[in-house]
Each structure stands twice: as C-alpha cells, then as structure tokens.
Structure 1
Amino acid sequence: MDDGRNDVLSTLAPLIQVRPLVEQHCLFGPGWSAPHAREPLGMAPFHIVTAGSAQVLLPDLERILHLAAGDVLLLPHGTRHTVRTAGTVAAPTTRLNHRDNGVVEVKWTSDLPEAVSAVPSDGSATPLALELICGRFAFERVADNPLLALLPEAVHLKAADQRESRRLARLVETIRDEVALPRPGGRAIATDLARALFTMILRGHLEGHGAGTEAAGLLARPATARVVAALVRDPARAWTLDELADQAHLSRATLVRAFRAAGAPAPLAFLAQVRMTLAVRHLVAEGLSLAETAARVGYESESAFSRAFKRHYHAAPGDYRDAARA
C-alpha cells in the first residue's frame, strides 16, 4: 500500500468508532472445543493465537479456518463459530476452570496445571495445545458504518503472509504479556494495543482487496462517504447520479471527479460493486435464496441478478455459493 493510501487509513480509522474489549486468556489442552453463539449486532469477536494452532468452524459458511501461532481472526458480523484445538476431536468431559487475574478472565482446561502459560519454544512435551487471547470489538453507530457493512464475514490476518510480520508479532506478544503477566494499568494498555491491532487488521485486509481499498478512500472524504453510506443503507433503490450528487452536496461532475480521485469507479459502477459485495453475504453467510438476494440488492428478477453476478464474479450465483462453502 502506498503512502497516499496509508494516509487514507489514518484518516479513516478514528472514524470507525470501535471500542475494544479484551476479555479472555484461554489455555486449552488437546481435544478442546469452544462454541460461540452469534453475537448481537455491532459486536465483532476476535481471536489471537499466541501459541499452538487452532481450527475455527464457521457452520453458517460451511468453512473451516486454520490458525497458526501469531494469526488473528476477526468476525466483523458476529457470526457463530467454534474454536477448537487443531487435529483432535473435542473431549466433552474436560472442564474449564476460571479465574480473574485483574486484567482478563483466565480459562484453562482441567487437564492443565494452572501454572501452564505457554508452549515451550524448545519443543519439549507439554499438555498445552492452544493459547488464545479473545475479545470483541464493539462498533458504535452500526447502521451508519458503511465500511463495516462491506467487510466480509471473516478477516483472517495470517502472520506468515504479512509484509510487516515482525511488527504484528511484537504487537501480539505485547498484548499477551499484558494479559498473562498482569501489572497495574494492564487492562488499559491491553485495550489500547487492541485498538492498534484493529487498525492493523483493517490495513492487512485492505491491502489484499482492491474494492475494500476503494471504499476506504471514499469513506475518508465526507462528501463521498455520505454517498457510500446511502448506497449501503439502501442498495435496492434505483439510484440516479442526480440523487447521489444530492447526497454528497456536489454537482454530478464534481462527484464523479471525487470518486476518481479516490481510485474508485464512477458512482453508479461503484453501486454495482456494493450490490455484489452484499449479495455474497446474503447468499453465502445468510443462506438467502437467489430471489431474496436479488430483491435485497435491487434486481427485479433472478435472471437479471444472475447475469450481473456472473459478469462481476465470472460464476453463476449458485456455483459461487457452492465453491465458497466447499
């Protein structure tokens, strides 16, 4: 990402209005599984793998994600999921112990001694299979947060894939130290570090997704941000360029120039992108039918929606949904 786009993200991040909640330090022995119900609107759970490896089951998406040490997973829309130690089946008889260490709630499986706090780096035997730091990001003004609406169901930041992997590793390690080795001010420090982590998650996602970067550029400017928010709130509306210019309080020509300056397509072409982004969520994550999805994103018939979807994704909606859930 170039310097200009980094400046856009610096402008955008404070406007997202997110409150981090660092809540749990989890220590799991082999064969542990922890289900999580769908979160209320505006609550986005996150998991940081600080040692070991994990699998995250997303039943609504029919997907399994594999997380290694240093990886971070954000579920922007609070989808239900199950976290489990990798490679083994859950042991239903294993109990969880709990205690509050003054910073977070510590949870550990009953097959572990309370003193266990990390997987040994020398590879020596240990019953600890997975160490996690878990929490949630609470988004304020969810209905007016178009970037949140355009994020996917799962954002997986892989430590091994990041150009700034050492920075991510240092940040994760520092959060872990504040949580596992509590000192005065630990809760406040962990919260501030989690806010920085959220921005890194957002940056990592935007660097790998061109459409997301375009949205970031538009949202960083008040006039175009009003247009994006209007499109996300009501994607089914038969918007005209005049109506979008009214939303931005700009002339039509100035609005088009503003979109181009943000690296985005023309406003009505961007509306088509928004509709396709939301269509994927309706189809894959929410399991809506083609007819329901078409109506939600502004198409009068399934055939018209299917043609538009195929032009955008080079696959029919049903084939895309099946591949996403494979």
Structure 2
Amino acid sequence: MRFFRGLPYLAIRKLFHFVDYETRLSLQRCSKRTKKLVDAMPFYFELVDIATQPLRIRICEDKGETMTYSNIAGLIYNYVWELCSTAIFNQINEKTVEKQLNHLWEIFRNKNIRIKTLFVSLTLLCPYDSEFAWVSFERIRLVCCLMKIMLFSLDHQLLVENFIIEYNENHDQVMCFLPFLHPEYLKFIKFINCKSSHAYIGPIVNLPQVIQCRRVVFDGFTWVPMKNFQHLPGVFLMNTKFDFNDTNRLIQVCEHDLNLYDYHFQHYFQHDTFEYFGMKGVKDNWFPEDSNTFIDDKNRKSMIVEGPKFAIKIVHKLEKKTIVLQRISLTPRNV
C-alpha cells in the first residue's frame, strides 16, 4: 500500500500498535510488500490458552477483548462435535484437533509475536470414569504430540513472558512445550501437578528455561528432592510439607575432610543468581524450639544462616503460613 511508503519507521511501528491481529492478516494479503511490513512489526498477545477437556484454544489480544478465529461458527461447530464424540462415542476426532491447532501454528511461526501468558491445561475430564479417562488421556497425548511437532518445526523459540501448565504428573507433557520457549524472555513459570503425588521433575528443572527464570512456582508437589532447587534463583512451593530439617539440609551440606578430620558446612546456595526460596502451607511451629531465632523489625520470627558468599535470612510469615529464604549481605565482621 502506498500509504505506508511515505511514513517513517517509528510512525509505522506506532500505527501498528493500534492494529488488531485480524486486520494484520488482511493487510498481509494486499501485497508482498505489506506482508513483509506486517511480519516485521511486533505484536503482543495478552493470553494464549490451550485446554484439552474439551479442546479449547482461546487467544486474547488484551485484558478486555478476546480473539479466537474469524470463523466463529466453525469454531462452535468443532467444539460441539468434539464434545459429542467424546461423550457419546468415546472417541476423538483427530481432524478437529489438528484443525484447531493449525490456527496456533499460523500465529506461532511469526518471529515477532510476543505472548504475555501461555496457559496450558492438560487435565482429565472424568478421572474416576475409566472410559472418559481413556479418551482424556488420548486427547492429551494427541495434543502434546502435535504441539511438539509444530513447535519443533519452527526456526525460532516462542517469546513468552509467563508460562503456566497444569498436568497429571507426566513430565513428558511439559517437555512438549517448555523447551521451545525462549529462555531469556521468560520471567515466570508455574507447574501445577493435578495429582499431588510424587511427580518427577528432574529433567524439567535442568532446562535453561527454568534455570534462567526469575521465579518458578511448584503447586501440588507435596514432596520432591530438595537438591533439585539448589541452582534455581527463585523458587516458591505451594502446599508443601517440608519441615525445618529438610530446609536446613538444602541450605548447608556436611562434608568430611579426610586430611583435617573435621566436618565443614557450606551453602548449597553458592550461586550469585540466588534470590529467594519460598514455601506456602507450613505449620505455625515450623522453627524448632532450640533454633537460634529472633524477632525482626516486622515482628516476624526469623533466623540468619551465614555462608561463604552471602547470608540467608529465613522468615516465618504466620498470617500466610509461609517460609521465605531471602539472600542478604554478610555482616561486616565476616567480609
């Protein structure tokens, strides 16, 4: 379009800030020149929501407006047909699933797409009904496989700021999404375990997306090895059962020196990137009676553990039933 030729780049960028995604798709069809211009302009989605029970894909351009697809009637038809196939015939319409996911591929293949929050829900429709559970598992498997193939085919990683996923204990489902997100763009990750049992998270916490993330939340993981968190800068556990001794083992490791015949204690948190470690759902008497605690300036029971590089302040927030381990500077006498 000749209208864009006489405008400076900053003016075009500002103008495209007010153009919705449907209008951009229309401009792409005008000419090759406008298609290149549209593809070069960044576009922000507030939310991309992928759910499997039943299959739902919701895309929001901002907090107040929801954009799905241009063919709303087709979307409703696919939704009803997919629901009836599940409830009546106990089977999955694979073509319907592929058709809906193809809309995501059209969006994700644009390198300039930015997503505020990517929410993935991989839950069971009726976990206590064997037939429904089987159909649910099959749909989850199909969606995960197709998403993995689709994301792997891209020549770039998705620019997602917040990633939230709820799943049924299988870390392979997480691996179909998380490795394809740009680690330097991610700020927040939340894992929701729907079964609240011994979920295996070893491969997940070693991904660069998790290691470089500012804040990682684990919800529904009642028990996981504490050593999995030693290299993460910011971790928060929801509904946990870790006591003082478990946390103390995370803070310091006892090593025996054969030459000096002595025991040395050092911080597990020795990385300069460590910021905090939090746990919600602890007991009121979390600190042992013989622990070296004090009341800080905010009237909270606290404790300080000093290490080789920095100190860790442990704070018990009684009103929130939360324990927070926060990095603080060493006292001048120990520097």
Higher relative contact order (CA 8 A, sep 6+): 1
Q: Which protein is richer in helix relative to its size? A: 1
TM-score by length of 2: 0.25
Larger radius of gyration: 2
Q: Which protein is richer in strand relative to its size? A: 2
TM-score by length of 1: 0.26
